[in-house]
Structure 1
Amino acid sequence: MTILHETAEKIKNMEIRGAGRIARAAALALKDEAKSIDTDSLDEFNAKMKAAYKLLYQTRPTAVSLPNALRIVMRYKASTVAEARSQIIANADAFVTGSENAVKRIGEIGARRIKDDFTIMTHCNSSAAAQIIQTAFKSKKNISVIATETRPRMQGYVTVDVMQKAGIPTTLILDSAVRYFMKKVDAVVVGADAITVNGNLINKVGTSQLALAAHEARVPFIVAAETYKFSPRTLLGELVEIEERDPSEVLSPEMQKKWPNLKIANPAFDITPHSYIDLICTEIGAIPPEMAYWVITEKLGWEIEEADENIM
């Protein structure tokens, strides 16, 4: 199995998880594919790269970081295979480096919003959200974390592991206990799989209930998101597809046979309205959700249709 197909399978099966990690893995998979294609025909090279793009694109339809990363890597104009290969490799390396630096910068910016003696609630597993918490802790702030299990894939266990290794006091709670514990929380910090043009957040299912409970309790709700998680396609009115995952993640096949008429819904993500978001921490600064349009049109800075022409 090639690195391309192995990466696609791992993304699809959630062995590689988290929007930022998915984006970086996909970029590196395209880089490896560009290096491994043995041809002197630019048309053949382009066709194989487009096939690689489409294979990766179809693995996780909701995490906009994935198609954004793929488009960035595939932005090349070349007259020879050597030129095309060189540009793709450079694009991939620049994206991965920029993504890693963005997470570090988000941690520095977001940590300023975390005060001494804060209890922070988080959901699922986000490298950017975790970076904010870890940066605040490393700056000698006395903080603690409440992490949800994040069923059914239990991504919260990954967050707990990160926090325990960092020495941060952490409590693991049931997803359904969010409202009960919100009265003990000073801030909610979550990651993002996508942010729409109007500032709505698409993130792991259950995020919206944290936002609703935080809004009711007047607890600040902070999103940690690299700018490549903003969705340019929503400028054109396109809706972000909410991924529906396999029912077996919720109920075993044996139990499904026991209740053959039972319907099982397993959405991977939900939508949090921008009105429940206090702040989005990006690598370019802490912004209100209303600035999403500016980020998409000015910071991302490329024409959507033009970008798609090269790869679709």
Structure 2
Amino acid sequence: MAPPPSLPVQNPSGPHHDSSRPPLKAQKEMTKAERRELQERQRAAKAAGKTPGQPSASAQAPKKPNKNAEASPKIPSAAPKPKDAGRSMAAHEPAPSHQRGLRIFSHFGAQKRLSTIKGDIHPAILRLALQFSEFKITGANARCIATLNAFKTVIQDYVTPPNTTLSRHLMTHLSPQISHLVAARPMSVTMGNAIRQLKFDISKSSIDLPEQDAKNELCKSIDDYIRDRITAADGIIEESCCKKIKDGDVVLTYSRSSVVEKVLLAAHAEGRRFSVVVADSRPLLEGKRLLSVLSRAGIQCSYLLLPSVGSIITEVSTVIVGAHSIHGNGAVYSRAGTALVAMMAKQHSIPFIVCCETYKFSAGVQLDSFTKNELGPLGDTLTPYPLAKPREALLLANEAHLEILNPLYDLTPPTSITAVVTEVGIIPATSVSAIPLALYRLP
């Protein structure tokens, strides 16, 4: 069998390949210099094969339309801003309003100006809210009594709309009144307990009673609450606490409490000879009013500010103070500075007595005075001091980088309290939660 004819093998370098050149080696067998030379020759041959006026293949290929590019509109590039543009804009922006209080104290109830009125507010509530916001009515008992008396006026002027009942619609009518008072100043524990009792009395009102009779019954229940829970309770506390004051005692009291004032006046009326040291602090300086009342009654008094208590604490026989409220764990929530006086009294083994009505008891628990508090007015820090410079030059309220904060209350731990005098007896502070009347667990 004849062998197949041999086919001519073409040189891979092309027909114009120079046979004088040595055959190309495989790239694996080349050195770096040879591979670099080969790449340069290939680039030169590729560049020589292109015509100068002819576009490349990639340019000749039609471009596919980009749907995303057509759908999205072209966003013009932002013009470059000069360097001083930010400064000029910041200079023309209005400065933020000066807010009172640092950020960490923003949850404190601050003094507010009532600029807007929401809802149908009774004139008696408007007047009372203005007095609250300006601190013309202070003290837990005074605020509670003023609130209940204002509600009596609101109830008497109330007219039940047609197709409804007083027991259902009166609560809707009182809600904006309460909200307006809270907007003026945070609600106290005494006000909250009294309003809760008033709502309970309204819910019990019979729908068969004539409207005027039902309103008279509600006003009578308000009067009974003031008489039983405040006036009569103060009388019982007055009798119990008077027995703790003896001849020759030096009684220290802090700020002003209406029930403590009654106790001291009653002890003096019984013929006991004692002296009173009134400690006070800014910004309200409520002790001045107590000092004037006791001085007019003929009681020997001394007056000093809170930082000076340490210099006379060794001469004190008993410390008697009031309270804004008492929490379920026995902590006393009272005027700021009370905890300091209690700490000094405990350090020197001096009895620390708190006079408090049971309607001031709260079922809640508070561990410090930072969780909940209220900011008082700025006050005048220069009143009792002789001034060598004009008063306007010494005012601190207009300083740009100074914030003046006056928390109104602090928390006294039950371990610093000797006894709590209430209308149900003298009890330790840790037994507050055991009084059913205080927690509204009536049978």
TM-score with structure 1 length normalisation? 0.87
Q: 1:182 to 1:257 in 2, by over 3 A?
A: closer
Residue 278 of structure 1 pairs with residue 405 of structure 2: no
Q: CA deviation at 1:27?
A: 1.2
Contact 1:189 1:224 in 2 (8 A): yes
In 2: Cα distance, 1:234 partner to 1:31 partner: 32
**Cα distance, 1:56 vs structure 2:** 3.0
1:13 aligns to 2:138 (yes or no): no
Q: Residues 8 and 301 (structure 1 numbering): CA distance in 2 closer, same or farther, change over 3 Å?
A: same
SS in 1 for 2:420: strand
| Native 8 Å contact 2:282 2:379 kept in 1 | no
Are 1:193 and 1:204, in contact at CA under 8 Å, matched by a contact in 2?
yes
- Does the Cα contact within 8 Å between 2:324 and 2:335 map onto a contact in 1? yes
Distance 1:160 1:79 in 2: 48
The answer to whether the 8 A contact 2:327-2:361 is kept is: yes
2:438 corresponds, among 300, 307, 312, to: 300
Are 1:75 and 1:88, in contact at CA under 8 Å, matched by a contact in 2? Answer: no
Distance 1:200 1:59, change over 3 A: farther
Give the conservation status (yes or no) of the 8 Å contact 2:397–2:404: no
Out of 160, 169, 190, the residue aligned to residue 321 of structure 2 is: 190
The aligned amino acid for 1:186 is: S
CA deviations 1:63-93 (Å, max 9, x no partner) are: 3112112222222223545565344312210
* Separation in structure 2 between the aligned mates of residue 231 and residue 243 of structure 1, nearest angstrom: 17
Aligned to 2:62: none
Alignment pair present for 1:92 and 2:213: no
2:400 alignment partner, one of 260, 265, 268: 260
Between structures 1 and 2, the one with greater helix share: 1
Gaps of 5+ in 2: 1-121, 383-390
SS in 2 for 1:74: helix
Larger C-alpha radius of gyration, 1 or 2? Answer: 2
Measured after TM superposition, the shift of residue 57 of structure 1 is 4.1
Query: Are 1:51 and 2:191 matched, yes or no?
Result: no
Counterpart code for 1:39: T
CA 1:226 to 1:60, structure 2 compared with 1: closer, same or farther past 3 Å? Answer: farther
Question: Whose relative contact order is higher, 1 or 2, with alpha carbons under 8 Å and at least 6 apart?
Answer: 1
**Paired residues for 1:238-253 under 5 Å:** 241-247=372-378
How many residue pairs end up in the alignment? 299
| One-letter identity of the residue aligned with 2:241 | G
* Aligned: 1:38 with 2:159: yes
CA RMSD across the alignment: 2.5
Whether the 8 Å CA contact 2:171–2:199 is kept in 1: the answer is no
**Match for 1:300: what amino acid?**
A
Distance, in Å, in 2 between the alignment partners of 1:300 and 1:57 is 23
Q: Which secondary structure state, in structure 2, belongs to the residue aligned with residue 262 of structure 1?
A: coil
Q: Is the 8 A contact 2:356 2:421 kept in 1?
A: yes
Looking at structure 2, the residues matched to 248 and 168 of structure 1 have their Cα atoms a distance apart, in angstroms, of 29
- Residue 204 of structure 1, aligned match among 335, 338, 352: 335
Q: For the residues of structure 2 that align with 1:162 and 1:65, how far apart are their CA atoms? A: 25
- Give the Cα–Cα distance (whole angstroms) in 2 for the partners of residues 90 and 290 of structure 1: 35
1:269 aligned partner: 409
Alpha-carbon shift at residue 257 of structure 1 (Å): 5.8
How many Å separate the matches in 1 of 2:295 and 2:237? 21
- 1:268-301 CA distances to partner (integer Å, 9 max, x unpaired)? 0111111000011111111110111112xx1135
**Cα displacement (A) at 1:157:** 0.7
Structure 1 residue identity aligned to 2:232? N
Say which is worse superposed, 22-31 or 43-52, in terms of deviation: 43-52
Alignment correspondent of 2:3: none
Distance 2:252 2:433 in 1: 28
How far apart are 1:53 and its partner, in Å? 2.6
| Aligned positions of 1:58-77 closer than 5 A | 58-61=183-186, 63-76=188-201, 77=203
Rate the CA distance shift 1:230–1:50 in 2: closer, same or farther, 3 A.
Answer: same
C-alpha change, 1:84 and 1:229, in structure 2 (3 Å) is same
Identity, in percent, stands at: 26
Q: Is residue 24 from structure 1 mapped to residue 162 from structure 2 by the alignment?
A: no
Q: Which stretch of structure 1 is more off in the superposition, 223-232 or 41-50?
A: 41-50
Q: CA deviation at 1:150?
A: 2.6
Matches within 5 A, 1:227-246: 227-234=358-365, 241-246=372-377
8 Å CA contact 1:147–1:173 kept in 2: the answer is yes
Kindly indicate whether the alpha-carbon contact (under 8 Å) linking 2:255 and 2:280 is maintained by their aligned counterparts in 1: yes
1:217 maps to a residue whose letter is H
Q: 1:4 aligns with which of 111, 122, 125?
A: 125
Residue 403 of structure 2 aligns to a residue in which SS? coil
Identify the range of structure 1 (248-257 vs 82-91) with the bigger mean alpha-carbon deviation. Answer: 248-257
Offset of residue 259 of structure 1:
2.3
Q: Provide, for residues 172-231 of structure 1, a one-character-per-residue CA deviation record: whole Å limited to 9, x for no partner.
A: 112211111111110111100010101101111111111011111111101010101111
User: Is 1:167 the counterpart of 2:298 in the alignment?
Assistant: yes
Distance 1:273 1:60 in 2: 26
Matched residue type, 2:227: T
Residue 416 of structure 2 is aligned to residue 291 of structure 1: no
> C-alpha displacement at 1:233, in angstroms?
3.6
